[in-house]
Structure 1
Amino acid sequence: MRRAWALVALVGAGLAVLTLLAAAAADQLDGHPAARVVLVLANAGSVWASQAVLAGWLVRRPWAAALAGPLVGLLSLVTFYLLGALTGLTPWSGLADNLGWLVAAALAGVPLGLVGALARRRDGLGVLARLVVPAGAVLEPLVRGWLDGGVGGGGALGGGVLGVAGLVLVVAGLAGGALVVRRRIVTSR
């Protein structure tokens, strides 16, 4: 169980560091479109939410998953803003200015962590739980208008940063969903 909690901490800190590196790269590359796409992906809500699902999956038991989900989100945010402030990538007030994200991580992390624990099941409920992350990846760019020229998007075909990032999320989500469904079909034979 200690190993699972260590992995949860690694996931939380890892996403924070990855996001900071993406921000630094976008800054250093003077806003190069490819670097901005990576930054959008690293900041995507579906990516940050998926870490809570992964945390729940790692710790297995429902009570632990309900705790791991919010903890990984809070750890990521605190790590992101503290390291960001230390490196000058975010202001020192970043954590206080974004308390809403801390509340969101704490509240959304509980059900997302539980989804992760459910994803270990071998029945239909487990399949549905395993489809949550791919569905989130597909839905986020659609709901946020990234593919139809939403704010700063330019549409996927127009090559806008949000459009390209949205297309990456949709393709990844569809591929992930197909793997879940295919595996369910193959293992149920």
Structure 2
Amino acid sequence: MDNNPRSGSKPLLSVLAVGAVFGAATSLVNAVAQLSVDLESREATTGGWSVMEIVSVLLDSGWAWAGSAVLAGLLATRAEQGGLEARTLARGAVAGALALLAATAAYYAVDTVVHGVSLGSYGYDTVYWWAASILLGPILGAIGACARRPGAIGVLAKVTVPVGAAVQMFVMPPGRNEVITTVGQWVVWTTAAVSIGMVAVHVLGLRRQRDFSGGAELP
């Protein structure tokens, strides 16, 4: 066991960095997207769109925020070896919550600068999403901690974000008009399908490797 306190702080810093960068980037992309289109025009309402608006729709979706917490759980436990221990799950859970707390703080901090308002203007929203972070972050972070595990648990953890993204884009598609919604849906669905396919190929490859190794040991 590594007793060096610095080694324990690195995962924490990486988790906070992931959350802060994601939250700040989402706020900035939203601001740029708003500037890229005249929202008062008829075209904007019926079918106008821009690349930045698509990026904004993708980044500022629930599945993307959930994904940042899952990634945090993965990063915080990437050095862990062996089975799925309670300590590993706990570390992933803490990482997921911290990532979302940092993301929320960074998002609203950048928003205050971009929109030129006081930090208190987002006080209620910040507290609301911090509460959601504390409630949901540990679950998502624990899922991230499971992603490197072998077997069905690892597979389910790996496909959680792409499956969740695909479902959200079907049930609650974002976008201010049909064009943006449709483009966002197909981008997410295509990416999700590719991601799930890659996981399936990886799993089948490992299974064939095991079968081949087992067969080689037979007399």
TM norm structure 1? 0.87
* 1:117-136 to 2 correspondences below 5 Å: 117-136=145-164
Amino acid at match of 2:137: G
Distance 1:66 1:130 in 2: 16
Report the alpha carbon displacement of residue 142 of structure 1 after superposing the two structures with TM: 0.5
Structure ID, larger Rg = 2
Could you say if the C-alpha distance between residues 21 and 145 of structure 1 is closer, same or farther in structure 2, counting changes exceeding 3 Å?
closer
Unpaired runs of 5+ in structure 1? 155-159
Which of 123, 127, 139 aligns to 1:99? It is 127
- The aligned counterpart of 2:18 is 11
Matching of residue 82 in structure 1 with residue 109 in structure 2: yes
1:57 matched residue in structure 2: 74
SS in 2 for 1:169: helix
Alignment partners' CA distance in 1, 2:75 and 2:28:
25
Residues in 1 aligned to 2:141 and 2:28: alpha-carbon distance in whole angstroms: 26
Q: CA deviation at 1:38?
A: 1.1
- Gapped runs of 5+ residues in structure 2? 1-7, 39-48, 78-87, 209-219
Q: Deviations over 1:99-145 (max 9, x none)?
A: 33222221111111110111110111111111101111111111114
Shift of 1:188: 1.7
Number of aligned residue pairs: 180
Which residue, 84, 95, 109 being the options, matches 2:137?
A: 109
- Which residue identity does 2:176 align to in structure 1? G
Secondary structure at 1:152's aligned position in 2? coil
Which runs of structure 1 show a deviation greater than 3 angstroms over 4 or more consecutive aligned residues?
89-92
> Could you say which residue in structure 1 is the equivalent of 2:206?
187
The match for 2:176 is 152
Structure 1 residues 90 and 14, CA, compared in 2 at 3 Å: closer, same or farther?
A: farther
